[in-house]
Amino acid sequence: MQHAAFYIARRYLISKKRHNAINIVSGVSAAAVAVVTAALICVMSVMNGFEEVIESMFSRFDADLRIEAVEGKTFRCDTPAFERMLALPFIAVHSEVIEETALVEHADKQLPALLKGVDADYEQLTEIDSILTDGTYSVDDGAFYRAVLGQGLAGQLGIGAHFVKGLHVYAPKRNGRVNMMRPDKSFNRATCYIAGIFAVQQAKYDDRMMLVSIDMMRTLFDYAEHEVTAIELRLSPDIPVREAKRVIGAALGDGFRVADGYEQQADFFRIVRIEKLLTVLLLSFILLIASFNLIGSLTMLILDKEQDMHTLRYLGADDGLIRQVFRYEGRLIAMVGAAAGVVIGIALCLSQEHYGWLKMGSGAEYVLSAYPVALHITDIVVVVLIVTAIGWLTAWIPTRNLKSDET
């Protein structure tokens, strides 16, 4: 029965109808499905492209793994557990880190900034040189404290890498009470000179962060030696990050949290996934609206094939078989549109990837000249499943009440 219904539906799909309007509506239905399917693939691929571009920028700035205390802000990194952990063969570079918020001042401008104090190994830990937009990377030249600022923070302060005048940093004393008579005595002060400007293209870094020497941070915030807020690690390329994370977590115990690159940027990737989900839902809703053409096409086809239904019933076909014929017809129209959409979407993505015909703009303010594209097979599978589900639904609606007494 199923084979007979599919055979008849396939003949209806390619045969000429008595009313030309049915062919037109069927073509419009398939075209609408194709356009939205191609749009789904293209939009999801562009969002993948942006995600990979931003991820690559994060990877140049963030460490492979970052260790923080589960409770409290600081911890000591000279304990036997840390010494054993840092001796693991797959740890290529480690850097002690202190992060605190302080007030920075230049000329008559004052702003709060997130200071990240790093040691001499930090340059080997990340690819900081690749995201510098001005100057060089240096946090201590042996004579003066140096700093590397995010480009947004530098712009707000009106300072550049080649300025002679230093940047003043104020931080409340970690120990002791506030002197209400002389509040200025309640702050530690340090001066550093701008060595470079970096850009990660993320506001939380570019507009707030400032890389400085960890020795300056210990002096400024009254931290003891080997007291840190985090330890950052670069791993050897011969070990998976997940495996290294598991081994390090087991070595340090439950008191420490080991975060990989995705977990360090959990908020960003969560937002990207939500945006992608909302985009898919919106385009799927548009596809559902476009599929109403398919309902109209099937309804017109049912009316056009009324005599054929009488003939099938005389030959012994029941209502179930006849309903199945027109449901297959609707599904075939949806599948033809989906197949055309997948081909068009893939072709557009590949051409954009190779030729970059859709431009974003030109100039220093643009990180990329063309929209990035990353075509994932899982996205294509998801799009095909969505189109199939909607096609099955719209093919069922006009045939659900198709019975003998209607003819």
Phi, psi of 72, deg, nearest 5: 85, 170
By the 8 A CB rule, do 194 and 160 touch?
Answer: yes
Nearest to 17 by CA among 305, 221, 216, 291: 305
**Euclidean distance between CA atoms 119 and 140, whole angstroms:** 9
C-alpha span between 14 and 10 (Å, rounded)? 7
Q: Check if the beta carbon of residue 210 is closer than 8 Å to that of residue 114.
A: yes
Distance of CA 16 to the CA centre of its chain: 48
**Beta bridge pairs of residue 196:** 135, 148
Whether residues 228 and 295 fall in one domain? no
Torsion of the alpha carbons at 368, 370, 374 and 380, rounded to the nearest 10? 150
For every residue of 190-232, DSSP letters joined together read EEEEEEEEE--S-HHHHTTEEEEEHHHHHHHHTPPTTEESEEE
For residues 157 and 240, membership in a common domain is answered with yes
CB neighbourhood size of 143 (10 A):
7
Domain identity same for 291 and 370: yes
Is residue 224 domain-shared with residue 340, that is, in the same domain?
no
| 216 and 360 both lie in a single domain | no
Q: What is the mean pLDDT of each run of 10 residues along the chain (407 residues)?
A: 56 55 69 88 89 77 90 90 90 93 90 93 87 90 90 91 88 70 73 91 87 93 91 91 91 90 83 86 83 72 64 64 71 84 93 83 61 89 87 75 51
Q: Which domain holds residue 24?
A: 2-58+268-406
pTM, whole model, 2 decimals? 0.70
Burial class (CB in 10 A: 0-12, 13-18, 19+), 183: exposed
Last residue of a domain, one of 229, 263, 297: 263
State which amino acid sits at residue 118.
V
> Does residue 137 share a domain with residue 69?
yes
In terms of domains, do 25 and 153 share one? no
Whether 37 and 93 map to the same domain: the answer is no
Supply the DSSP string of 252-290, one letter for each residue: H-TTEEEE-HHHHTHHHHHHHHHHHHHHHHHHHHHHHHH
Please identify which residue in the block is written with the tokens 């009316």: 303
* Confidence (pLDDT) at 177: 64
193 strand-pairing partners = 146
| 68 plus 54 within the same structural domain | no
| 202 and 176 belong to one structural domain | yes
Residue 95 phi/psi, 5-degree rounding, is -140, 135
User: Please, what is the angle between helix 2-14 and helix 319-355, to 10°?
Assistant: 60
**Does residue 240 sit in the same domain as residue 105?**
yes
- 263, 284, 308: which is the final residue of a domain? 263
SS3 labels along 64-122: CEEEEECCCCCEECCCHHHHHHHCCCCEEEEEEEEEEEEEEEECCEEEEEEEEEECCCH
* Helices marked H in 120-172: 122-125, 151-157
Taking the CA atoms of residue 138, residue 143, residue 145 and residue 151 in that order, the dihedral angle to the nearest 10 degrees is -40
Long-range contacts of 269-272 (CB under 8 A, 24+ apart): 269/51, 272/47, 272/50, 272/51
Alpha carbons within 13 angstroms on the beta-carbon side of residue 98 total 25
Query: Residue 271, exposed/middle/buried by CB under 10 A (0-12, 13-18, 19+)?
Result: exposed
Look at residues 212, 237, 263 and tell me which one is the last residue of a structural domain.
263
Alpha-carbon distance 195 to 358, whole Å? 37
DSSP secondary structure code for residue 371 in this structure: -
Count of domains observed in the chain:
2
SS3 40: helix
Q: Are residues 281 and 364 in the same domain?
A: yes
- Please tell me the distance from the alpha carbon of residue 312 to that of residue 319, in angstroms, as a whole number: 10
Nearest of 352, 316, 336 to residue 391 by alpha carbon? 336
* DSSP collapsed to 3 states, 1-32: CHHHHHHHHHHHHHCCCCCHHHHHHHHHHHHH
